[in-house]
Structure 1
Amino acid sequence: MSASDPLVGELLDGRYVIQRKLARGGMATVYLADDQRLTRTVAIKVMHEGLGDDQDFIGKFDREARAAARLSHPNVVSVFDQGLHRGRPYIVMEYVEGCTLRHMITREGSFSPERALDLLIPVTAAVAAAHESGLIHRDIKPENVLISDRGQIKVADFGLARAISAQTVTATGMLIGTVSYIAPELVTHGKADPRCDVYALGVVLYEMLTGSKPHTGENPIQVAYAHVHKAIPAPSSAVKTSWRESRNGIPPYLDALVTSAAARQPSDRPVDARVLLDHMRQARESLARGVMDDSALTERMKGTTLDPENHITEPVPSLRSPSEGDRTPTLRFTPSTPISPGLPEITDGMPYYDGPVEQRAPGRPRRRWPALLASILAAVLVGTGLWWVFAGQYTSTPALVRLNQAQAQQAATDAGLTITFDSEYAEDVPAGQVARTEPAGGDRIVHGGTIKAFLSKGPERFAVPALRGLDLPTATESLNRINLTVGNVTQGYDDTVEAGKVISASFKEGTPLKRGTAVDLVMSQGPAPVTLGDWTDKPVKDAQKALKEQGLKVKIEKQNHSDIEKNNVISQTPTAGEVHRGDTVTLVVSKGPQLKAVPNVRRYSLDRARDILQKAGFEVRVNRLINFGFDLVVSTDPKAGTKAPVGSTITINLA
């Protein structure tokens, strides 16, 4: 797994978990993924980031899914699904575990003619099926041929395929197709038809036979120029082994097959892959029989249409050629249609031997016909039995996708098959129509067998539950219970939601979402913190205004204070520092000093007057007006009965 690739570990459409990157191309990257719904491994091709805004690229990407999905052939990589992830289109394909033809060519160099044809005939059969469906691959190359560990050969990447009726072969000014295998007409005027694929197959076969490409250059322009102006040479000219000396040599008819398929003029090539496939099968059958030079066959390899007289519909098995000193007879057959897959047809009623003939004892009569008839009968019976085991007992499953139940029932009945129905959610198929079948349309099924059809319930959606005020474990459980997941969790302040509870979610309550969609949550940290200033000995009205603007509550208490001016703050709780919005700040506000009437102490002695005033809460200062020695109070300042602040100083005038 690549930690640098952000898609690795992602969940696509609530269903596909990306495991690792497999390959990267010019338009998309292919990943290995797990389909959690069907518990299978798949390959997912995701368009490169930034191309999702280009409608031309989106169109080509969409055509890949549609074109490949239309093909039902054992040598074509199956397409299962398509969708959009964060604005990037993707398609889900069959995962073929193994290697590419490119890896085999790199590892082994050149192949023998028989091995090259054995590998390329299934590829050509797949392209022929595409041509019969009105599609052109446009990018045939060894990198797009997958070979599984079990030996299955499949063609991938119909991403540049387009209806044959389409004329344009360029997109945003760039040639479509890989330059080493591109047909000359695509370079010169951009017109495409099935013969472009035939040309590419011819170049691939040349490379497999010789171990090198026919045209090379320092840059793609030089290679493209060579395709336009230079004919591809016969592959035998690029190898040292001669067909006259070894069975591994390239015979003239195989040279003709390659140079005809890769002819510069489209009119000189086979009209489509079906004709090329027939040529390959004829060549493979001749190699199997040990024929290395056949002028009539060489001439047929130059044909551009099917030759009904020599048409071969099935591959012919490889037969061992006789070697010098080999005492084992080797069966040979003339070219014709096999009785069944895997069995050569007996021509003119009998095979003939190309080996030592058993000597008949003198006088012993020849009794060849009974044995011959028995051999013929055995071959017919075996061929019929094999045909039934491998083909005869099967038919094709009809295409039922997007039919309603009644239509699907009728189609199955018309095909002599039984059908059962189930239902499942489907993103792209309207409710009530068939979303998929088992077996799939085009797959083989036993005569009279049963098709299981899944009727669409429409897109699967789950409504977002109420999440505000829940703690994280409870919110997670609520989402998981309805097949949604928790996405990014962030923190925020809120005056009303207590710390540790959900403030909000990325989707409103009740929003319908796909299975596995991630819902982001914002968790409360409680009210936001604010800084409380020191309002001591400051006007209370200023303090109230500032504290309310900070989202704080204010409580006022009043008391007298001899030193703090009236309506100024005596003290506050809490003191200056950090508090939170919504907290309460208590302010003790001064009512000014306490006032009290000055007692009347006139005619009192000094000692008694001082005692009375001090007990009343006043300070005393003595002023002797006349020093007669009597120390009697004649007046006070302030005067008796006047209100003065408690704690203030009263002056006693003595005489």
Structure 2
Amino acid sequence: MTATPTDPMLGRLIDGRYQVRSRIARGGMATVYLATDLRLERRVAIKIMHGHLADDNTFKSRFVQEARSAARLAHPNVVNVFDQGQDSDMAYLVMEYLPGITLRDLLKDYGRLTPEQTIDIMSAVLSGLAAAHKAGIVHRDMKPENVLLADDGRIKLGDFGLARAASANTATGQALLGTIAYLSPELVTRGVADARSDIYALGIMMYEMLTGEQPFVGEAPMQIAYQHANEQVPRPSSRVPTTPRGLDDLVVWATARDPENRPRDARVMLERLRDVEKLVRDPAAASAEGVAPTMVLPSTPLAASADDETQIITPAAAPGRHRTGPVAADASTELATATRTRARRGYWLFALVLILAGLAGATGWYFGAGPGSLATVPDVAGQSQDAAQAALVAEGFTVKPGTRYDLAVAKDLASGTDPKSGSQVTKGAAVILYVSLGAEMLEVPAVAGMPEADARTALARFTVGKSIQQFSGEVDKGLVIAALDGDGAELPATYPDTGAVTLVVSVGGLPPLVGMGREEAKQALLDVDLVPKEGDLVYSDTVPEGDVVSISSDTDPIRVGDTITLTMSKGVELFEVPDVSGLTINEAAQVIEDAGFTFETDVPELFRDALSVNSQSPGAGEQVPAGTTISANFSG
């Protein structure tokens, strides 16, 4: 895991030498980072104690002890320690960087390991731990998280943060240390640890590698600790029967509750593991070398329980070595008896193999060509009922009739099957053939005038798509104007189930555009998602020049996104006043009215044919609006 951008250590230069690059892991006492040693130009892992522990002398001394413990070990299976120091109030430890994973990661990925993988990893771990035990160091925190598996195949033991120099009994003197799942009984009950406590933890690790699970589990740590103190670790073969007997016995030996009955250190356990390895990897070669097929593990006498099959002999009877005296004679008798037992077992195994072979053949026929074989359900949708039934029978199925409404398949044709087409089904199984009843017709609720959300709920059995936004001066914004079918027509009284429905929803009335200026009107249309377009200019006696006279649209009704044409005013239209001088009053009146103006005179009707016009107002040739009143003077 890499450091987050908020990690204050990211990019920090420690002690003027180590440049922090990213975070690798975080534990209860410290965080490990990937760093660059600027002096030697190499990548290192730098372990930095948590700041809140800096004032605790116990933790600080334990941190320094780790450096000293690991530095005393020079072994290819132990993580090398390069440096240790203090930068301001921060204690750090510099170690070799091993890109790869931990044993815990491997167990998470694979569950359990093969016997060969278990032996390879345990050999490396025991080799490193044997060097520690030889140097008088007890690790005290053996667990899969502290076994590093490098990308280049190296296996190393790390994290000596809880290590101490070993004496006859190394007491913790405080709360239990180490991970509870791997604590030995003596640590739980008496708080003391020595090399045999490490051996117990290795036995638990070995059990976990062979079975994929820990021997003791519980909801609370004290429940697990109680089991370690009071129960014997079961054999791995009780969970995984194929576990080799030698590894089975080695786990039982390493996890004996009494530390006196365990290997005294990692070197002794490593020697026995190498003997077991010969049996696991090449049983025939191991027999030729004199290694007994059943591993007999040395120890001081141990009171075995009735179900404990492990035979305990004295250390002089180590497997693979020449033995003399009564012990050797007993072992020879034991081997001869075991040979005869294996021979009898061989006859039974041969008979069992024949029976199993017969059963396998019968099973193969049953599931391969017999009634137990599988067939694929064909796709019969859209076929006639007879054709669909024939297709299913041809595949070896029995057919049960069924009906269902189907919008996509016409009435009386095959609608589908249960199980669905493409499914793998045992031959002879019943398959339901559905015949279409056509679309189910549902009563359409009245939704006009409802809020859109309520209308969608009322039409839930139909397929309501995206609504149409329409302008309406009569229906309030957000209410449904109408519901349309798939062809855009008003929904009928009944409509097919799941049929497509489109709601027309009001967005309110159009903005009042008449009388607005050109740019103001355009912006008003854009604000309601309409497209403005300028139309012809017209004369208007009521609307000033440049303002909107009227609007029009190519669509009816008008919906969001439509184009609105703006008809703009050219102002008032002007006409030329005709010349009526010299005409009689009645003749002048006729000319003026024919030109679209209003004639006005004070001359009585009786004299209008006798009197002639000698002046007019407005004068002849002037431009005035239509309907303007023209007055005339006369001469007699």
Band the TM-score falls in, shorter-chain normalisation: 0.3 to 0.5
Q: Which has the higher helix share?
A: 2
**What TM-score do you get using the length of structure 1 for normalisation?**
0.44
Q: Which has the larger radius of gyration?
A: 2
Return the structure number with greater relative CO, CA threshold 8 A, min gap 6: 1
